[in-house]
Chains A and B, each alone.
Chain A
Amino acid sequence: ETGVTQTPRHLVMGMTNKKSLKCEQHLGHNAMYWYKQSAKKPLELMFVYSLEERVENNSVPSRFSPECPNSSHLFLHLHTLQPEDSALYLCASSQDGATQQFFGPGTRLTVL
């Protein structure tokens, strides 16, 4: 399935690096999301964008900075991360907020 794509699929970075995760949806949806999936923990919603405006920031540290330049693209800018930020970062999209969300394959992030 190629509805929601994410790049890169794997990323290793040091604590002083700056990197960005990219998500693109080809489904014509108007809402996009970032989630964090850590081992043995529920998926955690990080950010919600609806019509390119951020409508939810789920108490995420400022070292994570989202950007939604248009309805098809979503970025997560990373800087000065900590080892505990290592996780699978998932992007999702939906048409309107409460409907089914379609997920991308995720970016496996390792912070050294």
Chain B
Amino acid sequence: AQSVSQHNHHVILSEAASLELGCNYSYGGTVNLFWYVQYPGQHLQLLLKYFSGDPLVKGIKGFEAEFIKSKFSFNLRKPSVQWSDTAEYFCAVTGSGNTGKLIFGQGTTLQVKP
């Protein structure tokens, strides 16, 4: 079955700490991968995406993610978090030729303490 698993449900960090959020997927065929973020009171917005090419992708606000095909993983990283990064983070996958059936993980709530 197609699925996305995010290992961490709730992460609490102090400012300047490094962040890594795990994401593993189960999906046959070529995939497109996404990380979305939902800041408190705001709508979901794209953080970064991978379609093809360099497996290390850089997104907005200093975030990056690495696609490791052999591990079916697309972990999100940031070397130094800020209080403003407090949000919920969602990993998602769809097939590259798909009709748009985006499959989401259950989300990770990140709380950054000032």
Contact A98 B43 (CB under 8 A): no
- How far apart are the CA atoms of A98 and B29 in the complex, in Å? 13
* A-to-B contact residues, CB < 8 Å: 1, 4, 31, 33, 40-43, 45, 48, 50, 55-56, 58, 90, 92, 94, 96-106
B56 interfacial contact with A, CB 8 Å: no
Per-position contact with A for B81-114: 1 when CB-CB < 8 Å, else 0? 0000000001010111111111111110000000
Are A41 and B98 also in contact (CB < 8 A) when A103-B44, A105-B43 are?
no
> Chain B residues near A43 (CB, 8 Å)?
90, 92, 104
Contact B106 A98 (CB under 8 A): no
Known: A97-B100, A104-B43. 5 other contacts (CB 8 A): A1-B43, A48-B101, A98-B95, A100-B46, A105-B42
- How far apart are the CA atoms of A58 and B103 in the complex, in Å? 11
Closest chain B residue to A43 by CB distance? B104
- How far apart are the CA atoms of A105 and B99 in the complex, in Å? 23
Contact A103 B99 (CB under 8 A): no
- How far apart are the CA atoms of A31 and B99 in the complex, in Å? 9
Q: Distance in Å from the Cβ of B51 to the closest Cβ of chain A?
A: 8
For this complex, 10 residue pairs linking A to B, each with C-beta atoms less than 8 Å apart, are: A41-B106, A42-B105, A42-B107, A43-B104, A48-B101, A94-B100, A98-B94, A98-B96, A99-B32, A104-B43
